[in-house]
Structure 1
Amino acid sequence: MLEHMSEARITPPPRKVSEESLRRLRSHLGSLNTATLQRLDSTLPWYRKLSPDDRSSLGMVAQRGLTGFLAWFERPSTTMTTLLAEVFGGAPTELTKAISLQKALQLIRTVVDVVEALVPGIVQDRDQSAVREAVLRYSREIAFALADVYARAAETRGAWDSRLEAVLLDAVLRGDEPDEIRSRAAAVGWNGTDGVLVMAGSTPTTDQPGFISDLRRSALRAGLDLMVGVQAERLILVVGGVVDPARSAEVFVGGFGDGPVVYGPMVDSLTEAHRSAREALAGLSAACAWTRVPRPADTQDLLPERALQGDPTATEVLLHRVHAPLAAAGTNLLETVDTYCELGHSLEGTARELFIHANTVRYRLRRVSEITGWDPLVPRDAYVLQTALAVGRLHAPTEAFSL
């Protein structure tokens, strides 16, 4: 990782010191290393809690740091990048796994403190100023190198996490085996154990390059888990920890591009999310048929358009959750809602057509609303009911028609 560091900023070589001071530094290198390890153990509680292997690895980094400082001091022509590669060697990846950047800087600071405290008493008096200056410059370069190591590790980890997330999203959309989905979800750190829903819409334009980060921040603020999938011009979100689907959808609607945004029904777990995804995508495909479609829209509000487009799930919902309950309640309700819709939503006209009082019409329409959840007095709901009646006729035996 260090080989990619820029050479544009070349650190000036340290001022030369006497051969006697260099000889003293070389002879005290072991004692400096021992003092450093003792200081790490006594001042950094987290260091004492590390496993023996991690302690050994970090101890080697500290030891190479001291050796690298002396090498740079002895050979001013050596580039800092070369020395830093010698200091970290094959450790960067292991270092970033073992400790955070903050702890790594604490480790280097401890090494520098030991050097600053002990080295002036080792070298000749005339060389102490040059040594202190070299320690400051060397520690600064080590800090820059650590920041670079951790930044590159974060980029690599982020790219790998994105690939894992993409594989998990594909498994969810396909409805793969539950065990496989659970395994992949654990790999990406998915925590959404409660309600899960899927949202679909258009991908934002190129002038919003940070939209995925914005979506993740929104999820964090709302206490929701989030999986993001970009499929060309289509953006798909899998949202976990949902309690109120409409409210959760509102959290993310601003992260989509122009056009409809549709969310599917809430399901109990990620292994069932393919059902929510299927309905959300079907709703998105059919949303263009409703010119006043809300944003975001519940896919259940798009049942007529989905049925017209041939979505079997929508047809089943209209048939079994709307038409069948009304038919079971008696033909009066079917006849009343059908007549009401055919006569332009006129209560008086329906009453005259059926030879009943207008209040009876109101009562029957209220019963329709109670049974189905769609209110015939609301124009959009009346359209859903009218479509459900048509679906019922198409799927009922011919002799069963009574309207």
Structure 2
Amino acid sequence: MAKQDSKAHRARADRLQGQTGALATAATAAMEEKLPWFRGLSAQDRSWIGLVAQSGITAFVDWFRDPEEHSSMPTRIFGSAPREFTRVISLHQTVDLVRTTIEMMETAIDDLLPPDDVPAVQQAMQRYAREVAFAAATVYAQAAEMRGAWDARLEALVVDSVIRGEADDSVRSRASALGWTGAAGTTGSAEVAVVVGRAPAAEGNANVADAVRHAAREAGADALCAIQGDRLVVVLGGVGKPVEIVQRLAHWFGPGPIVVGPVVKDLMAAVTSARAAVAGLRAVPAWPGAPRPVQADELLPERSLSGDGHARRQLATEVYGPLTMGEGVLLDTVSAYLDSGGSIEATARAMFIHANTVRYRLKRVADLTGYQPLNPRDAFTLRVALALGRLLNPEPGNTVL
């Protein structure tokens, strides 16, 4: 009896194999009729999909003939399609293709096969379709994994180019391929800032880049992210107030300070922000009470003491320089104020002027430099700026180099 059943099954498989050409033609016609997006594909793309459909039908016949010998057949039917297949159509569209092909076959076999063959073939098709669906999901998962690995390497390359000051049109193009728009975000700004902090522990950094990008996108900003040794570097785009955005990203960094570089006009100029942020991260231990995150420009005195020449020139030019204008009375006043231990009355006595005059001049110092002498932290910055200014340009009133 088993021998007769086996013989009948082989005969049924032979009859099914004889109809593979007609089934493949009917499958393509069904796609044309039922799937509008299929009609919109190029001739080459449609030929790829038709090839996959024909391969699937042929593989089904082989599997139907001997499921044990061809048990891996459902997972191999996508091998006939080029790698670009997963970029041409989505996983959802692939499921539509499988569904359309199966529905077509269920209808077509009623006319192409004897009635006694139909129930066995239909039952086998349902099982086979499930295996094909799992195979399709595997193909797309592998493609996504490969793209993810490639994107991670490309993103690390872009961030490294920004840090090294090698950003050019090719870097901007690569950033665009990663989803960097370079356009104004919700802040109305297209500006860029680089953020540097400690990387999270190894067990927590597997998906940190994706998490940072997602959080930045929710805040209305672009983000490129890379782990470089023990530090995490994030390039934010479309930011007018980066500190507010970084506060929402801070928990993705490792313990310790986070330094936000100054805002620059675009990705091409981001090296300026990156340089300041990296220098700030190196110098921030000198300020134990620094906020988290802290702006690199708030660390100018510490950066200067740690050997950052850009910070030294910035303090000498933007803080000391304005105080030397005119007759230098503001410079003399703030110097006397700092030397007197922050006492307005002692400053007034030392300069033989009224205390209110001292207060007025100190207010002018704050207006010109952005640093309030009455604030201890700002007073420290002013003292460092004055020392640097005198070293770089000992003649008051001259242009600071």
Instruction: Normalising by structure 1, report the TM-score.
Output: 0.90
CA shift, 1:376, in A, is 1.1
CA distance in 2, matches of 1:362, 1:397: 26
Structure 1 partner of 2:138: 148
CA distance in 1, matches of 2:133, 2:139: 10
CA distance in 1, matches of 2:203, 2:340: 50
* Structure 2 residue matching 1:272: 3-state secondary structure: helix
CA shift, 1:377, in A, is 1.7
Structure 2 partner of 1:227: 224
CA distance in 1, matches of 2:347, 2:98: 85
The answer (yes or no) to whether the contact 1:17–1:130 under 8 Å persists in 2 is: no
The answer (yes or no) to whether the contact 1:333–1:364 under 8 Å persists in 2 is: yes
* Structure 1 residue matching 2:232: 3-state secondary structure: strand
Structure 1 partner of 2:341: 344
* Structure 1 residue matching 2:24: 3-state secondary structure: helix
Structure 2 partner of 1:27: 18
Q: Which stretch of structure 1 is more off in the superposition, 256-265 or 243-252?
A: 243-252
CA distance in 1, matches of 2:167, 2:19: 63
Identical residues among aligned pairs (%):
45
Q: Does 1:191 align with 2:188?
A: no
- The residue correspondences of 1:290-301 to structure 2 (distance < 5 A) are 290-301=287-298
Structure 2 partner of 1:8: none
> Relative to 1, partners in 2 of residues 1:353 and 1:17: Cα closer, same or farther, differing over 3 Å?
farther
* Structure 1 residue matching 2:264: 3-state secondary structure: coil
Q: Does 1:78 align with 2:74?
A: no
CA shift, 1:53, in A, is 0.2
Q: Which stretch of structure 1 is more off in the superposition, 39-48 or 120-129?
A: 120-129
* Structure 2 residue matching 1:344: 3-state secondary structure: coil
* Structure 1 residue matching 2:247: 3-state secondary structure: helix
CA shift, 1:116, in A, is 1.6
Q: 1:57 aligns with which of 45, 48, 66?
A: 48
Structure 2 partner of 1:215: 212
Structure 1 partner of 2:369: 372
The answer (yes or no) to whether the contact 1:96–1:153 under 8 Å persists in 2 is: yes
* Structure 2 residue matching 1:93: 3-state secondary structure: coil
Q: Does 1:250 align with 2:251?
A: no
CA distance in 2, matches of 1:84, 1:166: 34
* Structure 1 residue matching 2:72: 3-state secondary structure: helix
Cα shift readout 1:298-334 (whole Å, capped 9, x = no counterpart): 1110011111111110111111100010111432211
Structure 2 partner of 1:334: 331
CA shift, 1:19, in A, is 4.3
CA distance in 1, matches of 2:381, 2:396: 24
Which amino acid counterpart does residue 59 of structure 2 have in structure 1? Answer: G
CA distance in 2, matches of 1:216, 1:16: 61
* Structure 1 residue matching 2:202: 3-state secondary structure: coil
CA shift, 1:207, in A, is 4.1
Q: Does 1:89 align with 2:86?
A: no
The answer (yes or no) to whether the contact 1:374–1:385 under 8 Å persists in 2 is: yes
Q: Which runs of 5+ in 2 are unaligned?
A: 1-5, 184-189
CA shift, 1:18, in A, is 3.7
CA shift, 1:124, in A, is 3.7
The answer (yes or no) to whether the contact 1:20–1:124 under 8 Å persists in 2 is: no
CA distance in 2, matches of 1:399, 1:165: 48
Which amino acid counterpart does residue 377 of structure 1 have in structure 2? Answer: L
The answer (yes or no) to whether the contact 1:16–1:130 under 8 Å persists in 2 is: no
The answer (yes or no) to whether the contact 1:120–1:131 under 8 Å persists in 2 is: no
> Relative to 1, partners in 2 of residues 1:188 and 1:157: Cα closer, same or farther, differing over 3 Å?
same
CA distance in 2, matches of 1:375, 1:17: 97
Cα shift readout 1:22-56 (whole Å, capped 9, x = no counterpart): 34322322222221111100111110000000000
CA distance in 2, matches of 1:315, 1:238: 25
Which amino acid counterpart does residue 259 of structure 1 have in structure 2? Answer: G
CA shift, 1:247, in A, is 1.9
- The residue correspondences of 1:267-306 to structure 2 (distance < 5 A) are 267-306=264-303
> Relative to 1, partners in 2 of residues 1:81 and 1:225: Cα closer, same or farther, differing over 3 Å?
same
Structure 2 partner of 1:117: 107
* Structure 1 residue matching 2:158: 3-state secondary structure: helix
CA distance in 1, matches of 2:229, 2:160: 14
* Structure 2 residue matching 1:152: 3-state secondary structure: helix
The answer (yes or no) to whether the contact 1:172–1:274 under 8 Å persists in 2 is: yes
* Structure 2 residue matching 1:392: 3-state secondary structure: helix
Which amino acid counterpart does residue 318 of structure 2 have in structure 1? Answer: R
CA distance in 2, matches of 1:178, 1:212: 23
Q: Does 1:381 align with 2:378?
A: yes
Cα shift readout 1:1-28 (whole Å, capped 9, x = no counterpart): xxxxxxxxxxxxxx99544433432232
Structure 2 partner of 1:354: 351
> Relative to 1, partners in 2 of residues 1:16 and 1:289: Cα closer, same or farther, differing over 3 Å?
farther
Cα shift readout 1:143-177 (whole Å, capped 9, x = no counterpart): 00000000000010111111111222222122126
Q: Which runs of 5+ in 1 are unaligned?
A: 1-14
Q: Which stretch of structure 1 is more off in the superposition, 91-100 or 226-235?
A: 91-100
Structure 1 partner of 2:187: none
CA shift, 1:179, in A, is 3.0
Cα shift readout 1:263-300 (whole Å, capped 9, x = no counterpart): 11111111111111111101110000001011111111
The answer (yes or no) to whether the contact 2:194–2:233 under 8 Å persists in 1 is: yes
CA distance in 2, matches of 1:17, 1:152: 40
Structure 2 partner of 1:6: none
Cα shift readout 1:321-352 (whole Å, capped 9, x = no counterpart): 00010111432211221122222222222222
Cα shift readout 1:171-230 (whole Å, capped 9, x = no counterpart): 212212623333433443421242011011100113424322221210121121111121
* Structure 2 residue matching 1:295: 3-state secondary structure: coil
Structure 2 partner of 1:10: none
Aligned-residue RMSD, C-alpha:
2.1
Q: Does 1:163 align with 2:159?
A: no
Structure 2 partner of 1:7: none
